[in-house]
Structure 1
Amino acid sequence: MKILHTIRQGKIGGGETHVLDLVQELNPQEFESVVLAFTDGPLITELKKLGIKTYVIYTEKPFDRSCWEKVKDLLLQEKIDLLHAHGTRAQSNSFWAAHKLHIPIIYTVHGWSFHPRQNRLIKMIRVWSEKFLVKKANVTICVSDHNLSEGKKLFNMDRAVVIKNGINFRKFDADKEYKDLRSELGIDRSVVLIGFIARMTIQKDPFTFIKAIADRPGAPYAKYLMVGDGELKQSAVDLAEKLKVSDKIIFAGFRQDIPDILKALDIYCLPSLWEGLPIGLLEAMAMRKATVSTSVNGTKEVIKPGKNGLLIEAGDVNGLSAALDILIKDEVLRSEIGRNAEQSVKAEYSISKMTRRIEEIYRDLKLK
């Protein structure tokens, strides 16, 4: 069965990591994967290394009619049996071609494109768009219970299921040997290292992280590592300078050696304003890290506060500063939370479990 996976970009984020893991885990005796991204980037390079056939049809816009015929030509050229669209932009730019060719569609929602902090008109348009895209899919997969319940409040979700994200525990194994990142970055072993690993966008809220650092949690025992690029990168650097915390923060830019980075950290922080089910958080937990994250969407389904992580309210600078201070000063608590985090992720969020359920959906659609 030949499946075309479509994804919005070639840069590597949560949805892109999901696709990268999924195409490697699918049973090769039953399923052949082809990947279409709508921008180029490191994801394409990684897939090619794995021998996965990949294509790029460039657009950074949703519902870009100029690329629809090109997607249709690709479906015909590759003799695709099923389309699996990962995310809003991917679905909006590939559903038309699949419908024209009577090819079944699976739409995986990696967090809705609408959220509470949007302008009212923009949110209304996004809700209408998602309703339309869900209707066009034979099956919609939500990566968290919250995403499903949120969708159900606004439109028909009768053909939707929840399949939670899974982690590749061979790649994220806390007991493996990793590169010595601390030596590379000149960070002493005695320093407590806190990491923010995400694209610097409004969603991930790097500003709250930097403002919390300005409250000096754990000073002078802590240092902060911000990994990622994005449209807010320069603004984040400027804010750190303005608040006089540049000496405490290392801006590392985009990196692909995430397991090495996680191994070097003591604490992982994800101050997002909204989420689907954050793969980065699951990866950090799999690496036995204490985490501080915001009580939003799928995140609060994963974290049991005080047991396998700490939760704060979105945008709460003081709350984030206090939570980081607690973990920085209490090594025993950090270790306990990290162990519990690893156990809870391994029990519920394996890539194998996720993939077997997706394979069942592929088979069901083939039989219909």
Structure 2
Amino acid sequence: MEKTKILYFITRMDQGGAQASVLTTIKTINKQQFETYLATGPGGRLDGRFKNDTQHVFFITALRHDIRAKYFFHDLVALFQMGRILRRVKPDIVHTNAPKAGVLGRIAARIFWRKAKVVHTFHGLGFAKEHGEKQFKFFVAVEKFCAKFTDVLVFVSRRNAAEAKQLGIGKGVRTELIRAGVNFNPILPLKFDPVAKKASLKIPANAKVVLALANFKPLKNPIHFVLAAYKVLSQMKNVYFIFTGDGPLKETAVNLAKNLSIEKQVIFPGWRNDALELLAICDVYASVSLREGLPMSLLEAMSMRVPAVCYDVDGIGEVITNNKTGFLVAPNDINTFADKLKVLLRHASLRERFEAAIDHRDFSEFTASTMVKKQERLYRSLVPPTKKNGGKRRFFRRRRHFKKFNPGEK
């Protein structure tokens, strides 16, 4: 059978949920039916994984990560570079991810390769009113425009789908709910030593640990993490806080911790490749993000049976059951957030109860295998398998009728 060619566009291969989802799909998709290609901007932390694969991986050298007016010329060049990649690969399906690659990739497909079906995944809505009202309205208008030549819009959370519908994004376009997924049977290294891991971070063996696997971009809200840590440490001394990653607000967060005299107990270790080991030594997972589609780091915390305290934004409330597997707190309510951390840190029996609830919850819709199977089903619905010499696909096709995904359905 002739394989269906899928070209993935993503802005940059950094550590993040969108990147992890794309990599998992490329790695585990049915190779007998699908042939995958990846096109990404340079400078990602994961670029080294692809340096030897020049047949299926392409670097869009002009593509910049930030969305700024000064990069307009670079974006224009990137658009034509995407066009060259499209004409070389000749994909049956173009699947875009991340805001910038999502916009440029769909425009490029519209201009340079109209034969492809176009799918875009919102790994969270990449715009927020925190950016400013004018910028918010601009991004919404751009997404409405790009949706006009998108065959399927994929959402990872019902909240994101409902918000997009309310904003008028994708009106009349087919939508699907495909959760981001992780392995819910994680395996730690055989020689893993939690005491040694704590010691490597200068954390005493008997100390409690609060962990956030994130980055220092504004919407990840690292300043609130430091402020919450300060409120907890004002009453509890043997607690350490870890906030991983890097980004524009790291220096601000580090300086704030110093000014509050808590720098020895608030640790910023940078990017890490040992997320499961960090989760294994932590007592509570914390998320103060102001926007999250469906955070894979939170799913990883659930896979390790770690109770969580989170701002209740986007898809987080679809993972955490309040007062059962963790605590949900209204965004920006630092006092309540810190109070919930203290409750969990002080009461081992409550943590054990939450851990048991996590253990008994059905997370099957959040597994990596479910995510990939749903994507395969989506791809087959767009481009039905054909025999290599079995004739060309019909120019005119009978219109397929799909049950439209309703964000409000359970």
Query: Normalization by structure 1: what TM-score?
Result: 0.93
Shift of 1:303: 1.3
Mapped contact 1:309–1:341 kept (Cα < 8 A): no
Instruction: Provide the residue aligned with 1:169 in structure 2.
Output: 184
Q: 1:345 to 1:52 in 2, by over 3 A?
A: farther
Q: 1:257 to 1:331 in 2, by over 3 A?
A: same
Instruction: Provide the residue aligned with 1:57 in structure 2.
Output: 60
Mean Cα deviation higher: 55-64 or 103-112: 55-64
Separation in structure 1 between the aligned mates of residue 371 and residue 355 of structure 2, nearest angstrom = 23
Deviations along 1:134-189, one digit per CA (max 9) or x if unpaired, are: 2221111011111111111122153111111111235x347976464223223222
Opposite residue 29 of structure 2, the aligned amino acid is L
Opposite residue 231 of structure 2, the aligned amino acid is D
1:329-348 alignment, distance < 5 Å: 329-344=346-361, 346-348=363-365
Shift of 1:245: 0.9
Matched, 1:73 2:89: no
Separation in structure 2 between the aligned mates of residue 149 and residue 68 of structure 1, nearest angstrom = 30
Matched, 1:198 2:214: yes
Instruction: Provide the residue aligned with 1:280 in structure 2.
Output: 297
Mean Cα deviation higher: 287-296 or 338-347: 338-347
Mapped contact 2:14–2:44 kept (Cα < 8 A): yes
Deviations along 1:93-125, one digit per CA (max 9) or x if unpaired, are: 211332231211110001112224331111110
Mapped contact 1:209–1:320 kept (Cα < 8 A): no
Instruction: Provide the residue aligned with 2:157 in structure 1.
Output: 144
Mean Cα deviation higher: 84-93 or 338-347: 338-347
Paired residue secondary structure (1:244): coil
The partner residue of 1:219 within 236, 241, 246 is 236
Q: How many matched pairs?
A: 367
Paired residue secondary structure (1:3): strand
Deviations along 1:272-329, one digit per CA (max 9) or x if unpaired, are: 1121111111111111101111111111122111101111111111111101101111
Shift of 1:51: 9.9
Mapped contact 1:3–1:83 kept (Cα < 8 A): yes
Matched, 1:96 2:112: no
Opposite residue 214 of structure 1, the aligned amino acid is Y
Q: 1:362 to 1:48 in 2, by over 3 A?
A: farther
Mapped contact 2:232–2:339 kept (Cα < 8 A): no
The partner residue of 1:210 within 221, 226, 229 is 226
Shift of 1:40: 2.6
Greater CA radius of gyration, 1 or 2? 2
Instruction: Provide the residue aligned with 1:188 in structure 2.
Output: 204
Matched, 1:270 2:306: no
Mean Cα deviation higher: 49-58 or 112-121: 49-58
Mean Cα deviation higher: 59-68 or 297-306: 59-68
Mapped contact 1:151–1:157 kept (Cα < 8 A): no
Matched, 1:42 2:45: yes
Mapped contact 2:219–2:291 kept (Cα < 8 A): yes
Mapped contact 1:167–1:351 kept (Cα < 8 A): yes
Paired residue secondary structure (1:117): helix
Shift of 1:199: 0.8
Instruction: Provide the residue aligned with 2:389 in structure 1.
Output: none
Mapped contact 1:199–1:228 kept (Cα < 8 A): yes
Shift of 1:208: 0.9
RMSD: 2.2
Mapped contact 1:166–1:349 kept (Cα < 8 A): yes
Gaps of 5+ in 2: 385-396, 398-410
Deviations along 1:38-91, one digit per CA (max 9) or x if unpaired, are: 233222223568999322213225572211121111122223221110122111
Instruction: Provide the residue aligned with 1:25 in structure 2.
Output: 28
Opposite residue 58 of structure 2, the aligned amino acid is Y
Shift of 1:230: 0.5
Separation in structure 1 between the aligned mates of residue 351 and residue 49 of structure 2, nearest angstrom = 34
Paired residue secondary structure (1:96): helix
Mapped contact 1:107–1:139 kept (Cα < 8 A): yes
Paired residue secondary structure (2:232): coil
Matched, 1:2 2:19: no
Opposite residue 182 of structure 2, the aligned amino acid is I
Q: 1:334 to 1:146 in 2, by over 3 A?
A: same
Separation in structure 1 between the aligned mates of residue 355 and residue 39 of structure 2, nearest angstrom = 37
Paired residue secondary structure (1:95): helix
Separation in structure 1 between the aligned mates of residue 8 and residue 237 of structure 2, nearest angstrom = 47
Shift of 1:248: 1.1
Paired residue secondary structure (2:378): helix
The partner residue of 2:14 within 11, 29, 47 is 11
Separation in structure 2 between the aligned mates of residue 342 and residue 358 of structure 1, nearest angstrom = 27
Separation in structure 1 between the aligned mates of residue 376 and residue 55 of structure 2, nearest angstrom = 18
The partner residue of 1:299 within 316, 333, 336 is 316
Mean Cα deviation higher: 72-81 or 295-304: 72-81
Q: 1:72 to 1:239 in 2, by over 3 A?
A: same
Matched, 1:354 2:362: no
Runs of 4+ with deviation above 6 angstroms: 49-52, 174-177
The partner residue of 2:137 within 124, 129, 137 is 124
Instruction: Provide the residue aligned with 1:228 in structure 2.
Output: 245
